Amino acid sequence: MENMCPFSLLILLALSIFGPNLVNADTVRPTPPPIFILGDSTADVGTNSYIPDCKAAANFPHNGIDFVNSRPTGRFSNGLNSADHLARLFGYNSSPPPFLFLHSLKYGLQLGIYRGVNFASGGSGLLDDTGLQLNVLNLPQQINQFVTLRENLIASLGHESTKALLGKSLFCISTGSNDIFVYFKTRSTMPKEEFINHLMEAYENHIKTLYSLGARKFGIISVPPVGCCPANRLLNGTRCFEPMNDFARCFHSALEKLMCNLTSELHGMKYSLGDTYKMTIDVIDNPQPFNFKNVDTACCGHGALKAEGICNATASLCSDRRQYIFWDLFHPTDAAARLAANTLYGGPTHYVSPINFAQLAAEN
C-alpha cells in the first residue's frame, strides 16, 4: 500500500465512503449533479457533531432510532431528513457528507467532486447572530467552507473544469425558521415588514456571494408553518401560533419576489422555490390522504405535546413513527421529510415553482 499513488488512494477512499455504486459499468442512468446543501437543522446531516461545545447537537438517542443500527447520526430525526431523501431521489445511495467530516480526511475535500457536500448547521439562520449562543455555523461561515472546498476543486481540476462542474451543480438552501424563532423569543419590536426585508437583504447577499463563486442552480426551501411545531403550539394552548405562521407566509411571499428579481439580474441563474408552508399546512389540515394521524404532538419528547423537553434517551417515544409529522419539538419525522423531498423533487407548481427540483437539475 505504501507504493500506491495518491489518486489510487483517493479512489479507494471514495469507494469506502460512498459505496460500490460510485463506479458501476452497468449503471445506465445519467450521473446526478453534485449537490451542495446549506442551511439549518432541517438539512444538517451531522455538522454540529463535529463542532466543539456546540449546544445544538442531536448525536444521542432517541435520535436515529430508525437509522441503520438505530445509530444517532447528528440528524434531528428518527431516521433521514429531507436533504437525505433529495439526494436519493437524484440517484445517490446516500446524502453528501458534512464538510467538517470530509475536512478531517486526508483527501476528503477532493471527494466533494463526486456528489457534493453538506454545510448545513442546526440552529443557524440567515442573520449572522442567529444561533450565535449555540456555537453553530452561520450561513457566512458555511459559505466560507464552500470557498475552501472550491479552492481544493480548482487545485485538483483547474479553473474551467471547476466552473463547469459548479455550473451544473445544485445549491440547496433551507433556512429562515430560526431567525423567526429568535424574533419572537427576544420579543423584538421591529415591525414585521422591516424584519422580513432585513431577512431578504441577507438572503440576497448570500445568493449573490454563491453566484460569484460559480453557483447557478438554486433549490430554495422556504419556511414551513413554524407556528404549528409542537413547541410553538404551547404558546397558544395546543393550536398553531398564528402570529408566527403569518411571518412564515410573508417570508415566502418576499422570497418569491426576491428570486424572480435575481434571475433578471444574475445572468444564467436558475432556481426552484419550494413553498413548504403550503406543503405542510395542507398535510396538517388534511392528514389522512398522506397516511398521517398525528399532526400536533411530537413523537419524541417530554411533557405536554411532548414539547416541553428535547428528544433524548429518557424521553417518551411513540411506536408508530410513520404516522407522526413531528419527530421532536421542531423537526419532521423521516416520513414527513420524505414526503417533503418527494414534493420538492417532482411536485406541481402550486407547491414548487417556477419549476421543481428535478426540472432544475435537468436544465442546461
Considering the candidates 44, 84, 328, 334, report the single residue annotated as catalytic: 328
Considering the candidates 41, 49, 177, 222, report the single residue annotated as catalytic: 41
**Three-state helix/strand/coil letters over 302-344:** ECHHHCCECCCCCCEECCCHHHECECCCCCECHHHHHHHHHHH
Q: How far apart are CA 29 and CA 86, in angstroms?
A: 17
Considering the candidates 62, 85, 206, 331, report the single residue annotated as catalytic: 331
Is 350 part of the annotated catalytic residue set?
no
Q: Which residue has the cell 450565535?
A: 132
Q: How far apart are CA 92 and CA 83, in angstroms?
A: 11
Is 62 part of the annotated catalytic residue set?
no
**Where does residue 178 rank: exposed (0-12), middle (13-18), buried (19+ CB within 10 A)?**
buried
Is 328 part of the annotated catalytic residue set?
yes
Strands 316-317 and 300-301: antiparallel
* Cβ–Cβ < 8 Å for 73, 46: yes
Angle 307-240-325 from CA coordinates, rounded to 5°: 60
* Cβ–Cβ < 8 Å for 231, 184: no
* Cβ–Cβ < 8 Å for 78, 63: yes
Q: How far apart are CA 66 and CA 303, in angstroms?
A: 23
Catalytic amino acids? Answer: 41, 328, 331
